[in-house]
Amino acid sequence: MRITTRRTFLRGAGGAVLGLPWLESVAPAAPRAKRRPPLRLGFFYVPIGVVRRGFFPGERHAGLPAFNGDLSAIIETKTAVGSHPIDLTPTLEPLDRLKGKVALITGLDRTFQIGTDVHAQCASCFLSSAAPFTVTTSAWPLDRTLDHVVADRIGDRTPFRTLELSCNSHRDNLESIYFDNISWYGTGHVAPSIRSPRKAYRRLFGTQEVREFRNITDLVLEDARSLRRDLGHADRRKFAEYFDSIRTIEQQMDKLDRLKGRLTEVSLDEPPEAHIPRGEYIRIMGDLLVVAFQTGLTRVATLMVGPERWNTPFMFEGLFDKPVSHHLMSHEQTKYGEELLAIDRFNMEQFAYVAEKMDGIEEADGSTLLDNTILTYGSGLGDGATHQYSDLPVVVAGSGAGALEMGRHLHCPDGTPLANLWLTQARAMGVELDRYADSTGPLKQLLA
């Protein structure tokens, strides 16, 4: 087997296919500086908003908001409009090692269309933000989302146009699909998320069904060993790291599968899925997203951490000794303030894990995978108690190969549409749009 580019695949028994990262030893002879890595676009969606005093700089001593109360009454300090150094508040502290490669963006408002529930529009409209009442076939401003708009331009260059992942294992809630999906082909046409790590793995790497499943690294090791003999020292290390990451994903999937099997055999007050460790679940889905980007299987992906307004409980391991409902707790910050702050930090730790993993992967030109990615953390609510859809919590990691200014806190003027960020990111990805949804222009101060 001859391997000439990073897009070549190793093929083993049973039809298993495994993509390879970029390797110097087998790359084309073009000068290193001229091999520009492709750009990737990713979204890490967090439901229910955040506790503002833990996330937003200048608000850590603010009062506690009442459920559906007036937020302005409890904000003591308002950040000045413009660009500032990043203040790593308690919720943002997990980003410390990436401080120079992230941007905090505040002051952005999501489109809200009067007449429907605020949670129904949080997730489904987060990446679309159509101007109110311009979509006549929907009760909310839901249109083709940004991931698919960008994939229309670059998706044909990869085996998968887009990749949609979700960390919601529950099936026992009565909410509609609009509370549980951020990726949409268009109004009323959802892009279904893959919720099982095993199913996501099989889709990406073409393995057999579970009963016929064999370790994919075993399937390709014979080809891999012959290739490895021809690699230089640095590439042998990179090759080993890559296979270790794949094997770790397999081991984590096996661990979760065994846990699910044991949970179905015991009597529990909650659904068995409620006891699956959230951190392990999110990280394995994050690992799959990273590998998909690393091997060129896709360049556009979304990862939804959890659903909006579902009251089913989740197990936040390391925080609580039993599953809890994030949504129900969010209505009572006076009672559950510390617990909610812990959940916000927990979610940020998972985002930091994914971003740091990307930053540890070297690309063809010596940059990192994160350097050539725009990975956005965000939520469709600014605060879980007040249900505000203005001043949303947004963090962007990765500069898109230098297109965006990192290491700063950009606070936007009142009334700045969230779609201005999406327009900025679309252009950074090479998609020339005059306007996106209800945007009024790009975020010029975010541009490098």
Q: Indicate if the alpha-carbon torsion angle 327, 330, 332, 334 is positive or negative.
A: positive
User: Which stretches of 102-192 are DSSP H helices?
Assistant: 118-124, 146-154
Output the pTM of the full model: 0.84
Radius of gyration from C-alpha coordinates of the chain: 22
Q: Measured on CA atoms in the order 435, 441, 443, 448, is the torsion positive or negative?
A: positive
pLDDT string in tens for the chain (448-residue length): 333 343 344 444 334 445 556 555 555 544 544 568 999 999 999 999 999 999 999 888 776 666 665 555 555 557 889 999 999 999 999 999 999 999 999 999 998 888 777 888 899 999 998 888 888 888 888 999 999 999 999 998 888 899 999 999 887 677 888 899 999 999 989 999 999 888 888 888 764 433 343 444 454 445 555 555 666 655 666 666 666 667 777 777 777 777 666 656 555 455 566 678 899 999 999 999 998 898 888 999 999 999 998 888 999 999 999 999 999 999 988 899 999 999 999 999 999 999 999 999 998 889 999 999 999 999 999 988 888 888 999 999 999 999 999 999 999 998 999 999 999 999 999 999 999 999 999 999 999 8
Q: Give the tokens for residue 314.
A: 């989740």
Q: What are phi and psi of 85, to 5 degrees?
A: -60, 150
Pairing of strands 300-304, 163-166: parallel
Cα–Cα distance for residue pair 132/141, rounded to 1 Å: 6
Residue length, the chain?
Answer: 448
Backbone angles phi, psi at 318, to 5 degrees: 90, -15
